[in-house]
Amino acid sequence: MNQLTLILEIRTRSEIVDSLYKSMHPDNLITLSNMSIEEEVDSRKGLYRITIRVPLNSRYIRSSRQTLDEILGLVTVIRRIMKH
């Protein structure tokens, strides 16, 4: 089976990493069949990495894109909040 693997690695302040993980992790526990999401968090290093593996199928690609869009949107919101 052909597969798409997406890896998003964010390196930033530990507070942002922790907030991002707390926001995303519950949603990442339940995925579509044949879809896997792995998260790696290291607050000391300011690292949040998510790896998404899906079959090359439009349904799965759309779902993985939504996950990435959600993460990037959360990073934007968290950074704005922390600036104020």
* pLDDT tens for each residue of 7-64: 999 999 898 899 889 988 888 888 888 889 999 999 899 999 999 999 998 788 888 8
pTM of the model: 0.82
CA dihedral of residues 25, 39, 62, 68 (deg, nearest 10): 80
Ramachandran angles phi, psi of 34, nearest 5°: 70, 10
Give Cβ neighbours of residue 38 (< 8 Å, ≥ 6 apart).
50, 51
- Of 18, 32, 28, nearest to 68 by C-alpha is 28
